[in-house]
Amino acid sequence: MQTFGIGLAGMGNVGAGVFKHLTLNRALLRERLGCELEVKKIAVRDMARDRGVSVPAGLLTTRWEELLDDPAIQIVVELMGQKDESLRLILGAIERGKMVVTGNKALLAEHGQEIFEAATKHKVPVFFEAAVAGGIPIIKAIREAFVGNHIRSIHGIINGTSNYILTRMSESGLGFAEALAEAQAAGYAEADPALDVNGGDAAHKAIILASLAYGFWVPAEKVFVEGIERITSSDISFARKLGYVIKLLGIIKADAGGEIEVRVHPTLIPEKHVLASVNGVFNALAVHGDIVGDTLFYGRGAGQDPTSSSVIADLAEAAAALQSPRSNCGFIPHGLYGTCQPIDQIVSEYYLRLTVEDRPGVIAQIAGVLGALNIGISSIFQPEGEEGETVSLVLVIHKASNAQMASALEQIGALPCVKKAPRMIRVENFA
């Protein structure tokens, strides 16, 4: 039986899981694939580190370059999570005709165009299912299952840490700092959680999804990103009273003219929508195609086992490609869609929370500012308070452009009756 050699770069949580499950499920893979997948060499930074899995010492090296030089290795798996070194490894593997499997979302988001230009030039496929949503096969679905569809939209809860924090804030009334501390104690958030809570991690995934869906690599600077750090328990409570829940949502859309929008931000979504019930560390993506209609993908978006499952699936695809060469190297550019819209042009509905004096005429002043900018109010909610108190005033705004709302916030914030900076969260009703 034919054997394909694997060079594994990185033996952290996911790398250890890949090695463990390749070993445990070796017979299953052999029967299903008709070939052997054998790890020939593993590049690590620390040879002595305990990784919770038994690895023959002869497989370990501290030089990832050995994976490129070893003729017994036909597939390189990049799980180092770096940028410069990882890029050098991937490009080096491609130049040598070695298949590449990676889960490096940040690298693909920032250097995807360069990587796939090299892959096309050398006719070497690159597989990256593990880069988005852990064990959910969303890359394969968009690239293959929906190949005949114009993707109208993708709405994704694609960061488990943020979803866990917002879930705990909603379920237990915790503040952001308390929920984050709980997530860190449970191992769901890193010691430095910045990329998770500021939306950066989700933005990397959204770039990959949008690029696959629309045929060009979306520049990172064209993606609007806002994190969950400013979400309060009051926002979550008010949203619930209005019939919504708050999620960090990746939104990818194409309009009738082919212009696309890619954004990641906290979003009010109707509590009856299926994404509203996705809680804890789970991920979910709702994909709408012009032929298939509405589809939903749900599962664990991170962790050793789900991510290892995706890496091993890519290894199986790589082995098949070695036996039967293919023209698709992982990304096929096309010119059917236009540019990425800047945030100021994007139209949405909005939740607006103001801290105002509770006295006659306040609502009229605020409505006057909005009306002068041609912005309509859908609903108003104001808790009861005594005359002269400072209270919250919550408005749901009809569709308006981000530029309109930016002007409105500036003018409303300057009103003497408004005592704190206005807080705005976008609303998605999936119409």
Domain annotation covers residue 334? no
Same domain, 402 and 313: no
Question: Is 295 in contact with 286 (CB distance < 8 Å)?
Answer: yes
Which CATH number goes with the domain that contains 123? 3.40.50.720
C-beta contacts of 244-247 below 8 A and 24+ residues apart = 244/268, 244/269, 244/270, 244/271, 244/276, 244/351, 244/427, 245/170, 245/269, 245/271, 245/276, 246/166, 246/170, 246/425, 247/157, 247/163, 247/166, 247/275, 247/276, 247/278
Domain annotation covers residue 340? no
Same domain, 265 and 400: no
Which CATH number goes with the domain that contains 180? 3.30.360.10
Domain annotation covers residue 186? yes
Question: Is 390 in contact with 419 (CB distance < 8 Å)?
Answer: yes
The DSSP H or E segment spanning 105 is helix 105-122
Domain annotation covers residue 19? yes
Same domain, 191 and 278: yes
Active-site entry in 41, 205, 247, 253: 205
Tell me, what's the pLDDT at 215?
Answer: 93
| Other CB atoms within 10 A of residue 90 CB | 27
Q: How many domains does the chain have?
A: 3
Tell me, what's the pLDDT at 143?
Answer: 93
Residue 373 is classified by DSSP as: T
Same domain, 287 and 370: no
Domain annotation covers residue 338? no
Tell me, what's the pLDDT at 191?
Answer: 85
Q: How far apart are CA 308 and CA 302, in angstroms?
A: 9
Domain annotation covers residue 332? no
Amino acid at residue number 270: P
Tell me, what's the pLDDT at 51?
Answer: 81
Same domain, 77 and 144: no
Domain annotation covers residue 276? yes
Whether pTM > 0.85 for this model: the answer is: yes
Same domain, 25 and 63: yes
Q: Confirm whether 205 is a catalytic residue.
A: yes
Tell me, what's the pLDDT at 256?
Answer: 84
* Segments in the chain below pLDDT 50: none
Residues belonging to the chain: 431
Same domain, 126 and 169: no
pLDDT digits (tens, 9 = 90+) for 42-101: 999 988 888 888 899 899 999 999 999 999 999 999 999 888 999 999 999 999 999 999
Name the residue range of residue 210's domain: 140-300
